[in-house]
Amino acid sequence: MKKHNFSAGPSILSEYTIKNSAAAVTDFEGTGLSILEVSHRGKEFVAVCEEARARVKELLDVPAGYDVVFLGGGASLQFCMAPFNLLNNKASYLDTGTWASNAIKEAKLFGEVDVVASSKDANYTFIPKDYKVGKDSDYFHFTSNNTIFGTEMRYDPDCDVRLVCDMSSDIFSRPVDISKYDLIYAGAQKNLAPAGVTLAIVREGALGHVERAIPTMLDYRTHIKKESMFNTPPVFPIYAALQTLKWYKDLGGLTVIEKINLEKAAILYDEIDRNKLFRGTVATEDRSIMNVCFVMNDEYKELESGFGAFASAAGMVGIKGHRSVGGFRASLYNAMPKSSVEALIAIMQEFEKQN
């Protein structure tokens, strides 16, 4: 039976990425070796890494004066690396969910943190809008897409101070005005590659302003200078990332991808709003187009596990909501075909008919 992978991350990758990555496991670009066993210093892999960085720049239209690096440690290490490299006295953070609050916790180890607004008291069901970022902050940090709660800031905010963003779960889902940002980071395991590599896009001028000593591995400048080859990088995830980046270009780039993403999310939200069994969990204007969270309406609460089983029997994978929200979460990352969203909608309609 066809499986429809709605997992929040690690998550669906394109067939193109999986097919080409699988082929490279057997024979990496005619070398007669597996990608899993080649030296990262060999010319073939150095070329892969260079091309992947160049394609990130091309796809996101990264202006001059920025560096693109592949790092280890997941997005969670960026919660620490960002303040390590950028926070001298004070930083401002927007608290929109679990990942944002994890980032806040780490930043507090390095200086004063001004949480400019939080929707925690409402279980992060909306994105706070009325907040002010003090001009005395070293930077303002926000999470563009809240993977667990299903809210998203699908715009690049104006800001008087340096702008830092965790784009782990919506990078490459839309065009971004990179020139507004000083640092963007994203774990790969949603819209890019298997887990194991983290992408960072850093404005050159943002670095070198903190007084503290920075351990070599945690200093962005180390990885920029050595073009992501200071130590052994995650070779296979970077190879897979390159395949995804090629696929994105073939699809027509981020404007086309955003249009498809908007369509996929719209048909699913329309069904949630129409279907008597379900309701969305977050403010309509803040709905994420990557992670669609929904629960059973109160009068149908007892049907929740039944719907889970029904969906799973129909090939739907990974739609159980995170424990802090409950209900269901369908993650519609770039590689998710519209036909899978339609398949989910069809079973929601079928379950409604049966109940």
Ligand X SMILES: Cc1ncc(COP(=O)(O)O)c(C=O)c1O
Active-site hit among 67, 190, 219, 320: 190
Query: Is 74 among the residues that bind ligand X (CB under 6 A)?
Result: yes
- Residue 166 falls in the annotated catalytic set: yes
d(CA 217, CA 173): 29
Closest approach, Cβ 354 to ligand X, in A, equals 34
Query: Is 335 among the residues that bind ligand X (CB under 6 A)?
Result: no
Site for ligand X in 139-178 (CB under 6 A): 143, 147, 166, 168-169
Among 150, 187, 233, 234, binds ligand X (CB under 6 A): 187
Closest approach, Cβ 8 to ligand X, in A, equals 7
Active-site hit among 99, 219, 247, 286: 99
Closest approach, Cβ 75 to ligand X, in A, equals 3
Query: Is 191 among the residues that bind ligand X (CB under 6 A)?
Result: no
117 within 8 A of 97, measured Cβ to Cβ: no
Sign of CA dihedral 114, 119, 120, 125: negative
d(CA 123, CA 289): 19
Among 45-53, 68-76, 83-91, 247-255, which window interacts with ligand X (CB under 6 A)? 68-76
Active-site hit among 67, 95, 156, 166: 166
Query: Is 21 among the residues that bind ligand X (CB under 6 A)?
Result: no
Q: Residues 6 or more apart from 128 whose CB is under 8 A from it? A: 94, 95, 96, 116, 117, 118, 119
d(CA 332, CA 122): 24
163 within 8 A of 181, measured Cβ to Cβ: yes
Separation in Å, CA 261 to CA 247, 291, 346: 15, 11, 19
Separation in Å, CA 278 to CA 150, 222, 262, 296, 351: 15, 50, 20, 4, 11
**What mask, x for binding ligand X by CB under 6 A, covers residues 81 to 100?**
------------------x-
Closest approach, Cβ 142 to ligand X, in A, equals 11
Q: Could you tell me which of 200, 193, 137 has the C-alpha nearest to residue 167?
A: 200
- Residue 190 falls in the annotated catalytic set: yes
Binding site for ligand X (CB under 6 A): 9, 74-76, 99, 143, 147, 166, 168-169, 187
